[in-house]
């Protein structure tokens, strides 16, 4: 007897994928692809918290206004309103699931949980679980997912591409398991929740973030991509060239931390009236300028004046992590640099997470809903994961399962041979070159000449990879993932070249002003056709 086709295939086990799985599983059967051996996901690393209007002293209009200001003219106001107004219910859902948010101990507290402030927010609206919110949310949801009878987790599979049927509908995905055996996972509906594209850069705020692979899979099926040029760099990642990535949360500045340059002076108050709490793009550019002018390769973040008790109370994770790297943050300022952190662009979706490809949905950081525009405001992204995963679940629960057709695509066969040691070495080297190129030319400050050089370098790498792949009869995971990363990198450069202005996270020395009539950028794989680049 054949197994019935599962109703929903969810690819990715971060906050978006886990929320969606739990929200549909009482009604539909779910396969959740959630690779066990990787730390690719960003969710577990989120520290600061989740933004929502929770205090009686806050209101929807204020949160909408702050988000629109941060988005610098490119937010979709309808998406902003949708997200903000669905925020409190999403937080209540997490509370009901048992997420251990930090209570507010103040006797006159206006809300039972502690709310902090972060850059761009003009109210205290960030609910958090100490300084390890992502871990608390993921652990709570993962526990529920693991015990739900209608959810099958595939922790052994990495997805390499999507499948479509003869009507052009997405009908599942294919990939390889831990033993490099091909796996075909068909479903009535497929949801990508594979995260962002910060892995395209050398310095990142998580050890191994996604590099936009899911975005390229969607584009391969014909989905549109939007606003890829808006890559957020977190201003304050721990500076330690020898060690793994570690973020120093914005909440450190929210609670009163100062940024200090090599001369020992605060530099933000002179640049922006919001000082250290200016939006991230402003702070990251200011730090970048200080680094360019200095000799140490970093600036300092100083919270010693908060006192040891407050530091221990608010930042236990950061305190412990820095201590493990030899820095006592109660006694020393923290060395920090900007690092790739969040991708505002991604697969275009509506408020239910639907893409332009029938049967294919995208939720979480992979999606571009229009919420963030040209710049994401701190802590709005976990909110977006929750709100859109829940609305996507609602839409899927309403959909008919009748018209489903099996995919027409023949999935990949096992590789005929593993990559040789030399080929493996090349994969590592080429990925290193990809990241170095993106970091040099497509990061905080850009120019036409730099972007053009980046495009040429990335095209050269793509050609080399293509030549190597031509010698293979079947797909190799490393090759596919690098090809996807190179594809997204080239599309990002095209989007940056076409934006003839500076806006939000995209700053060009050739186009330093705002364009009078800004528009979101939309791209498909067709844009890679030679001659159409800029
Ligand atoms: C250090 C750090 C701190 C942050 N702090 C905050 C914060 O305080 N507040 C906030 O709102 N936002 C924060 N963010 C952003 C936020 O954490 C992310 O935007 C959000 O967690 C993304 O969740 P997601 O579910 O979309 O994707 P992710 O959590 O990135 O999960 C992606 C999942 O997809 C899987 N996957 C990827 N590719 C494949 C593939 N090919 N096959 C199978 N599976 C695949 C991964 O294994 C992973 O399970 C932070 C980000 C970072 C990096």
**Whole-number Å distance between alpha carbons of 56 and 531:** 55
Residue 370 has pLDDT above 60, yes or no: yes
pLDDT band at residue 51, thresholds of 50, 70 and 90?
very high
The answer to whether 51 and 28 are in contact (CB under 8 A) is no
User: Which DSSP helix (H) or strand (E) runs through 1?
Assistant: none
Other CB atoms closer than 10 Å to residue 443's CB: what's the count?
Answer: 22
Q: What would you measure as the largest C-alpha separation in the chain, in angstroms?
A: 74
Residue scoring higher pLDDT (159 or 407): 159
Residue 402 has pLDDT above 70, yes or no: no
343 lines ligand 1 (CB under 6 A): no
CA–CA distances in Å: residue 257 to residues 73, 268, 329, 470: 29, 11, 11, 53
Phi, psi of 386 (to 5 degrees): -70, -50
Nearest residue (by CA) to ligand 1, atom 38, is 194
Given this model, what pLDDT does residue 156 score? 93
**Secondary structure, 3-state, 269-284:** CCCCCCHHHCCHHHHH
Strands, sheet with 346-348, edge to edge from the N-terminal-most edge strand: 367-368, 346-348, 225-226, 522-523
pTM for this prediction: 0.92
**Whole-number Å distance between alpha carbons of 235 and 288:** 9
**pLDDT tens, residue by residue, 225-253:** 999 999 999 999 999 877 788 889 888 99
Please state the rounded mean pLDDT for residues 411-428.
78
Given this model, what pLDDT does residue 533 score? 64
Both tokens assigned to 397: 């629960």
| Distance from residue 205's CA to the centre of ligand 1 (Å) | 11
pLDDT band at residue 39, thresholds of 50, 70 and 90?
low
Atom number, ligand 1, closest to the C-alpha of residue 159: 42
β-bridge mates for residue 299, sequence order: 336
ipTM, two decimals, is 0.99
Ligand 1 pocket: which of 16, 43, 91, 213 to mutate (most atoms <8 Å of CB)?
43
Average pLDDT value over all residues in the chain: 92
**Whole-number Å distance between alpha carbons of 127 and 234:** 20
47 lines ligand 1 (CB under 6 A): yes
Residue whose tokens read 């052994």: 156
β-bridge mates for residue 186, sequence order: 172
Given this model, what pLDDT does residue 516 score? 84
Given this model, what pLDDT does residue 214 score? 98
Please state the rounded mean pLDDT for residues 348-366.
97
| Distance from residue 17's CA to the centre of ligand 1 (Å) | 10
365 lines ligand 1 (CB under 6 A): yes
How are the residues of the chain apportioned to helix, strand and coil, as percentages rounded to the nearest 5? 35, 15, 45
Given this model, what pLDDT does residue 456 score? 97
Both tokens assigned to 166: 């003869």
Short-list 310, 337, 311, CA closest to 323: 311
**Whole-number Å distance between alpha carbons of 231 and 198:** 8
Phi, psi of 84 (to 5 degrees): -65, -45
**Whole-number Å distance between alpha carbons of 25 and 146:** 12
Please state the rounded mean pLDDT for residues 124-148.
95
Nearest residue (by CA) to ligand 1, atom 53, is 42
Atom number, ligand 1, closest to the C-alpha of residue 12: 34
Supply angle C-alpha 208, 210, 214, rounded to 5: 160
| Distance from residue 11's CA to the centre of ligand 1 (Å) | 12
Please state the rounded mean pLDDT for residues 519-534.
86
**Whole-number Å distance between alpha carbons of 111 and 267:** 35
Q: Is 280 a catalytic residue?
A: yes
pLDDT band at residue 469, thresholds of 50, 70 and 90?
confident
| Distance from residue 416's CA to the centre of ligand 1 (Å) | 33
159 lines ligand 1 (CB under 6 A): yes
**Whole-number Å distance between alpha carbons of 22 and 405:** 25
Nearest residue (by CA) to ligand 1, atom 14, is 46
The answer to whether 119 and 375 are in contact (CB under 8 A) is no
Assign 428 to helix, strand or coil.
helix
**Whole-number Å distance between alpha carbons of 341 and 197:** 9
Radius of gyration of the chain (CA): 22
Ligand 1 pocket: which of 10, 13, 14 to mutate (most atoms <8 Å of CB)?
14
Given this model, what pLDDT does residue 475 score? 74
pLDDT band at residue 281, thresholds of 50, 70 and 90?
confident
194 lines ligand 1 (CB under 6 A): yes
Given this model, what pLDDT does residue 179 score? 86
Residue-by-residue DSSP string for 442-502: SSSSB-HHHHHHHHHHHHHHHHHHHHHHHT-SS--HHHHHHHHHHHHHHHHHHHHHH--S-
- Percent of the chain topping pLDDT 70: 95
Given this model, what pLDDT does residue 207 score? 80
Given this model, what pLDDT does residue 282 score? 86
The answer to whether 411 and 182 are in contact (CB under 8 A) is yes
Residue whose tokens read 């839409």: 395
**Whole-number Å distance between alpha carbons of 480 and 39:** 19
**pLDDT tens, residue by residue, 62-91:** 999 999 999 999 999 999 999 999 999 999
**pLDDT tens, residue by residue, 152-197:** 999 999 999 999 998 899 999 999 898 888 899 999 999 999 999 9
Given this model, what pLDDT does residue 1 score? 46
């Amino acid at each position: 007897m054949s197994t019935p086709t599962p109703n929903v295939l969810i690819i990715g086990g971060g906050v978006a994928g886990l929320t969606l799985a739990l929200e549909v599983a009482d009604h539909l059967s779910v396969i959740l692809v959630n690779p066990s051996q990787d730390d690719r996901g960003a969710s577990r690393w989120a520290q600061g918290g989740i933004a929502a209007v929770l205090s009686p002293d806050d209101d929807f209009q204020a949160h909408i206004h702050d988000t629109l200001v941060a988005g610098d003219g490119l937010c979709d106001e309808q998406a902003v309103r949708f997200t903000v107004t669905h925020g409190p219910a999403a937080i209540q859902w997490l509370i009901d699931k048992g997420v251990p948010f930090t209570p507010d101990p103040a006797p006159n507290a206006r809300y039972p949980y502690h709310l902090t402030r972060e850059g761009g927010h003009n109210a205290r609206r960030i609910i958090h679980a100490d300084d390890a919110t992502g871990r608390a949310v993921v652990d709570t949801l993962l526990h529920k997912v693991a015990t739900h009878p209608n959810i099958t987790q595939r922790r052994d599979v990495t997805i390499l591409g999507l499948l479509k049927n003869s009507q052009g509908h997405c009908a599942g995905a294919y990939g390889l398991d831990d033993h490099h055996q091909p796996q075909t996972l068909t479903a009535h509906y497929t949801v990508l929740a594979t995260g962002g594209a910060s892995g395209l850069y050398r310095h990142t705020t998580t050890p191994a973030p996604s590099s936009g692979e899911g975005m390229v899979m969607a584009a391969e099926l014909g989905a549109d991509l939007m606003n890829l040029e808006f890559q957020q760099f977190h201003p304050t990642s721990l500076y330690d060239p020898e060690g793994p990535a570690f973020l120093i949360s914005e909440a450190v500045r929210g609670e009163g931390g100062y940024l200090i340059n090599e001369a020992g002076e605060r530099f933000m108050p002179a640049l922006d009236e919001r000082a250290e709490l200016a939006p991230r793009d402003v702070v990251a550019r200011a730090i970048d300028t200080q680094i360019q002018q200095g000799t140490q390769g970093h600036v300092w973040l100083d919270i010693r004046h908060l006192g040891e008790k407050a530091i221990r109370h608010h930042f236990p994770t950061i305190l412990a992590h820095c201590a493990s790297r030899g820095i006592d943050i109660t006694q020393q300022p923290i060395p920090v640099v900007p690092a790739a952190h969040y991708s505002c662009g991604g697969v275009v979706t509506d408020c239910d997470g639907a893409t332009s490809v029938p049967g294919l949905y995208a939720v979480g950081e992979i999606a571009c809903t229009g919420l963030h525009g040209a710049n994401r405001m701190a802590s709005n992204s976990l909110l977006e994961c929750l709100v859109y995963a829940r609305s996507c679940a609602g839409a899927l629960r309403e959909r008919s399962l009748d018209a489903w057709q099996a995919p027409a695509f023949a999935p990949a066969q096992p590789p005929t041979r593993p990559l040789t040691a030399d080929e493996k070495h090349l994969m590592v080297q080429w990925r290193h070159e990809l990241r170095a190129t993106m970091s040099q030319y497509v990061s905080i400050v850009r120019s036409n000449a730099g972007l053009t050089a980046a495009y040429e370098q990335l095209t050269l790498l793509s050609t080399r990879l293509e030549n190597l792949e031509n010698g293979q009869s079947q797909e190799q995971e490393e090759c596919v993932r690098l090809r996807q990363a190179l594809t997204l990198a080239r599309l990002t450069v095209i989007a940056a070249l076409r934006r003839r202005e500076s806006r939000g996270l995209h700053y060009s020395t050739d186009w330093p002003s705002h364009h009078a009539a800004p528009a979101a950028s939309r791209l498909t794989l067709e844009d890679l056709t030679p001659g159409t680049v800029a």
